[in-house]
Amino acid sequence: MPLPILALASDHGGFEMKALLAADLPLLGWAALDLGTSGPGSVDYPDFALALAQALKEGRAERGLLVCGTGIGISIAANRHAHIRAALVHDAFGARMCREHNDANVLVLGGRTTGPEIARDCLRLFLETPFEGGRHARRVAMLGDLGEK
């Protein structure tokens, strides 16, 4: 049985963290689809948010991980796409809740604001935590409706 695929993308501010987390994916039971960037040279984060959004829309990955310096810019860019529910998290609680209550399909981290062990915990919880559904399903559906308006 093939592993589920996590699309990863970052700008230069998140390049190191993305590489660190990509190395952990096989241990977590996931395969990586690395969409760049491939080095520390300055690039524009909206381009990488777009690449990840397209990969999810096309079904090339089940979920995504985005990283920029703070996570703020790349999360704003990702959430411009109606099918993306990108959650910028800073701790394990946020990583768990973004899945349980919001069915987030993209985890966003700050490469310059989040330590490596916290980032690893966040990724693990994001990948392991199922969507709770129930009363939250109606709200998540409303998010999709907003993107269509």
For residue 108, which phi and psi values (nearest 5 degrees)? Answer: -120, 135
In terms of C-beta density within 10 A (0-12 exposed, 13-18 middle, 19 or more buried), how is residue 132 classed?
A: middle
Catalytic residue among 68, 81, 98, 122: 68
Whether the link from the prior residue into 114 is cis, omega within 30° of 0, is no
d(C-alpha 119, C-alpha 109), whole Å = 7
Can you read off the two tokens belonging to residue 33?
């689809």
Q: Is 101 a catalytic residue?
A: yes
Catalytic residue among 12, 83, 98, 101: 101
Cα distances (angstroms) measured from residue 35 to each of 18, 96, 110: 10, 25, 17
Task: Name residue 25's amino acid.
Answer: L
Of 83, 74, 31, 30, nearest to 54 by C-alpha is 83
Give the catalytic positions in this structure.
68, 101
